[in-house]
């Protein structure tokens, strides 16, 4: 159970080990890094970190290759073990690849990338659905020392182009078409549109997911054809611990997505350790994380964590309700899945379809259930535990972020009989020291209290910086509470000392586990020709966790129907960002509540939407307090005539 069992640290139980991992951080992480990773050259310094300066460096002096840690070392011991099970969109058509096969695929692709001029330090953008070639693309980049930038294949051409430009990619990898929920998605066409505004892109590798031919341009390379010409042995690059492994873009409270930088050794170690101990993963288990590889969850728990541990990982290409709401549980029965890791939004959706779709299938192989992406409400937790897990599987409600690299707070690992409280993330992982801050910026030491959630000391999995914008990284995460890492989330600590996440403290909302900044949506709304200004806030949504509520003020000079503007807004949100960015409600208003200096008072709008009219607070700074009454009346009128979209 305990990661230092063979490290001679002499720690026996969970709480002692937790204390040791926090109080003797260097000794803990050095022992685990030596035990769990294969090094080309050992590190000489465990950590050189100063959070107040935004300096985070781990395992300096060390050299390793991430793909070797995920593939070659397992091929030496168990070449025919299944590495990846690809659960294709088409039901009951799974494809299994052994470690040997995945290594060969990775090496061929690594050689192809090298032959086509991709060099150590370059950044390759990957726009693919979850599939073995996507995993091989990530690992091939790691093998030759290039960074990867995986972009969720549901993003629009504009959103993809913005990320390609910021990452300065000259190479993009995609598929001819995607298939999801029985529908064909034209991914190659999206890439074609995106690269029109990306002068750096010189080549696009196109893999064939379907048999339908697509138009190939001079920049396009038929990926599988070219891979077939390559050797199955590819010399791995020796990478410094702090070289970039990947960029991953996430929404911030400003309109521009930020490319978080994760590096080699620390990230891989943290992903592997959390995968092993939070989920109690053992050799021979089948692990299923149903997140897309375009998100950090897919990076850490579909790819890097399981493969570093020599595990068998399931890549899920479909949706929870295709061809019917039994899809997950039929898959659990057929693939004999032991750990299942999904999102609260999917659990809430399936709960509404009733228990019969779960009961229809044998779930006896399940040992651990996990939840990720947003806090899970008690009703969904209870259903997941009682119906899906038959009351015998621990449910681990995990809290973490793109920024943290891996799980930071979760009910497990813990002593076997330790309690799990529904809807609480509960216990910090090894090496993680959470603290709550009050409004004065002081540490709150008492229990049964709330505050801003910070982490008091660095850990190996954390992001190092923001690509092209180190100052933004320091300002966002290190300066709000100097000497601490600020998560942007609020949390409650119970009498027993357990943590419960209460939600974002900044202007970021969480729609079905997708983080998106309100500024990003407002930016798109304000580009509509008829819109003078807008304000976007999140509200509680029974399926998605949070929905999007937009207040829109139209230009006085334009004669336009509100229904036409609504259509235009949804089209633009879908085109510029993704479908999940479309507002659930659009309230047209004559004006918005503003301070005398012209700042929109979103706090007031939030209270109106949440029907907390008693708690509107001090309105004395409003330019014209009467506007609030107009907004309240408009909200009431909208709800009485419209269901959310």
Render pLDDT for 461-476 as a digit per residue (tens, 0 to 9): 999 999 999 999 999 9
Closest CA to 528 of 556, 570, 559: 570
Q: Are residues 146 and 7 in the same domain?
A: no
Residues 110 and 19 in one domain: no
Give the Cα separation of 613 and 35 in Å (integer).
57
Q: Are residues 447 and 525 in the same domain?
A: no
Residue 338 lies in a domain: no
Tell me how far apart the alpha carbons of residues 340 and 497 are, in angstroms, rounded to a whole number. 27
Asked if 545 and 620 sit in the same domain, the reply is: yes
Structure confidence at residue 183 (pLDDT): 97
Spatial contact of 400 and 409, defined as CB atoms under 8 Å apart: yes
Whether 380 is covered by a domain: the verdict is no
Domain that holds residue 144: 63-318+399-491
Is residue 582 a part of any domain in this protein? Answer: yes
The total number of structural domains in the chain stands at 3
Residue 35 corresponds to which tokens in the numbers above?
């035990």
Are both 16 and 86 inside the same structural domain? Answer: no
Are both 9 and 70 inside the same structural domain? no
CB 546 within 8 A of CB 511: yes
Sign of CA dihedral 613, 617, 620, 621: negative
- In this structure, are 32 and 177 located in the same domain? no
How many Å apart are CA 6 and CA 239, to the nearest integer? 27
C-alpha gyration radius of the chain: 24
**CA triple 426-429-430, angle to 5 deg:** 145
Residue 620 pLDDT: 67
The verdict on residue 500 lying in a domain is: no
Whether 166 and 116 share a structural domain: yes
Residue 11 lies in a domain: yes
**Residue 482's domain is classified under what CATH number?**
3.40.50.12780
CATH number assigned to the domain comprising residue 565 = 3.30.300.30
2 shares its domain with 67: no
In a domain, 367, yes or no: no
Cα 156 to Cα 193, 367, 485, 573, distances in angstroms? 9, 38, 32, 9
- Rounded Cα distance between 426 and 257, Å, is 30
Residue with tokens 């700042």: 599
The pLDDT tens digits for 423-478 are 899 999 999 999 999 989 999 999 999 999 999 999 999 999 999 999 999 999 99
Give the C-alpha separation, 379 to 540, whole Å: 15
Q: Within this chain, do residues 7 and 89 fall inside the same structural domain, yes or no?
A: no
Q: Is residue 371 part of a domain?
A: no
Looking at residue 529, its pLDDT comes to 87
Please give the structure tokens belonging to residue 196.
Answer: 């029109």
pLDDT number for residue 377: 84
Contact 339, 367 (CB under 8 A): yes
Helix (H) or strand (E) holding 632: helix 626-641
**Among all chains, which residue has been given the structure tokens 């996507």?**
134
Question: Are residues 117 and 229 both part of a single domain?
Answer: yes
Q: Which residue has the tokens 């992001």?
A: 463
371 near 382, Cβ under 8 Å?
A: no
CA distance 264 to 112: 22
CA distances from 12 to 4, 186, 298, 408, 505 (A): 9, 54, 33, 22, 38
227 within a domain of the structure (yes/no) = yes
Q: Which residues of the chain have pLDDT under 70?
A: 1-12, 252-255, 596-598, 618, 620-621, 643-645
How many degrees, rounded to 5, is the angle at CA 448 between CA 447 and CA 449? 90
Quick one: tokens of 603? 């706090």
Residue 471 pLDDT: 96
- Confidence at residue 9, expressed as pLDDT on a 0 to 100 scale: 55
SS3 content of the chain, % helix, strand, coil (to 5): 35, 25, 40
Q: Under 8 Å CB-to-CB from 194, ≥6 apart: which residues?
A: 157, 158, 160, 161, 164
- Indicate whether 189 and 80 sit together in one domain: yes
pLDDT digits (tens, 9 = 90+) for 512-563: 988 888 878 988 898 898 998 899 999 999 999 999 999 999 988 788 899 9
* Nearest one of 128, 130, 125, 133 to 101, comparing CA atoms: 133
């Amino acid at each position: 159970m305990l990661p230092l069992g063979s490290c001679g640290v002499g720690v026996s139980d969970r709480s002692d080990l937790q204390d040791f991992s926090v109080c003797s951080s260097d000794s803990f992480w050095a022992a685990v890094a030596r035990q769990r990773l294969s090094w080309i050259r050992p590190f000489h310094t465990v950590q050189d970190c100063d959070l107040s300066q935004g300096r985070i460096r781990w395992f300096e002096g060390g050299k390793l290759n991430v793909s070797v840690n995920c593939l070659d070392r397992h091929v030496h011991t168990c070449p025919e073990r299944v590495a990846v099970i690809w659960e294709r969109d088409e039901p009951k058509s799974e494809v299994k690849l052994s470690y040997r096969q995945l290594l060969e695929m990775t090496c061929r692709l690594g050689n192809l990338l090298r032959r086509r001029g991709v060099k150590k330090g370059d950044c390759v953008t990957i726009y693919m659905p979850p599939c073995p070639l996507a995993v091989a693309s990530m690992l091939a980049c790691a093998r030759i020392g290039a960074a990867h930038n995986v972009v969720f294949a549901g993003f629009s051409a504009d959103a993809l182009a913005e990320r390609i430009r910021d990452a300065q990619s000259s190479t993009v990898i995609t598929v001819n078409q995607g298939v999801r929920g029985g529908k064909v998605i034209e991914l190659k066409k999206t890439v074609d549109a995106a690269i029109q505004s990306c002068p750096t892109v010189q080549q696009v590798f196109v893999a064939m997911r379907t048999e339908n031919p697509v138009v190939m341009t001079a920049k396009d390379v038929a990926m599988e054809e070219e891979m077939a010409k390559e050797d199955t042995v590819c010399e791995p690059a020796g990478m410094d611990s702090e070289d970039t492994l990947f960029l991953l873009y996430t929404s911030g409270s400003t309109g521009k997505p930020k490319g978080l930088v994760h590096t080699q050794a620390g990230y891989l170690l943290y992903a592997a350790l959390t995968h092993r101990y939070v989920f109690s993963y053992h050799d021979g288990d089948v692990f299923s994380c149903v997140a897309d590889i375009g998100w950090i969850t897919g990076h850490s728990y579909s790819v890097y964590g399981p493969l570093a541990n020599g595990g068998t990982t399931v890549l899920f290409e479909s949706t929870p309700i295709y061809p019917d709401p039994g899809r997950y549980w039929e898959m659990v029965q057929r693939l004999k899945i032991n750990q299942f890791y999904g999102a609260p939004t999917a659990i809430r959706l399936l709960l509404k379809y009733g228990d019969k779709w779960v009961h229809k299938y044998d779930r006896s192989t399940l040992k651990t259930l996990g939840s990720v992406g947003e806090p899970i409400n008690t009703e969904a937790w209870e259903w997941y535990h009682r119906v899906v897990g038959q009351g015998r599987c621990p449910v681990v409600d995990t809290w973490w972020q793109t920024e943290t690299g891996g799980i930071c707070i979760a009910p497990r690992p813990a002593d076997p009989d330790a309690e799990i409280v529904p809807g609480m993330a509960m216990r910090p992982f090894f090496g993680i020291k959470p603290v709550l801050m009050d409004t004065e910026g002081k540490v709150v030491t008492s229990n049964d209290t709330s505050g801003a959630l910070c982490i008091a000391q660095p850990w190996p999995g954390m992001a190092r910086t923001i690509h092209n914008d180190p100052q933004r990284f320091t300002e966002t995460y290190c300066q709000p509470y100097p000497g601490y890492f600020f998560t942007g989330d609020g949390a409650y600590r119970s009498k027993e000392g357990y943590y419960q996440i209460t939600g974002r403290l900044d202007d970021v909302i969480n729609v079905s586990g997708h983080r998106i900044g309100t500024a990003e949506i407002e930016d798109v709304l304000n580009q509509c020709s008829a819109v003078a200004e807008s304000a976007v806030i999140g509200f509680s949504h029974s399926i998605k966790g949070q929905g999007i509520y937009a207040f829109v003020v139209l230009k006085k000079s334009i004669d336009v129907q509100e229904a036409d503007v609504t259509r235009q807004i949804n089209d633009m949100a879908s085109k510029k960002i993704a479908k999940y960015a479309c507002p659930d409600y659009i309230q047209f208003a004559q004006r918005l509540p503003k301070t005398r200096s012209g700042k929109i008072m979103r706090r007031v709008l939030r209270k109106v939407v949440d029907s907390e009219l008693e708690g509107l607070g001090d309105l004395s700074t409003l330019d014209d307090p009467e506007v609030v009454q107009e907004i309240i009346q408009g909200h009431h009128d909208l709800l009485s005539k419209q269901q959310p979209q």
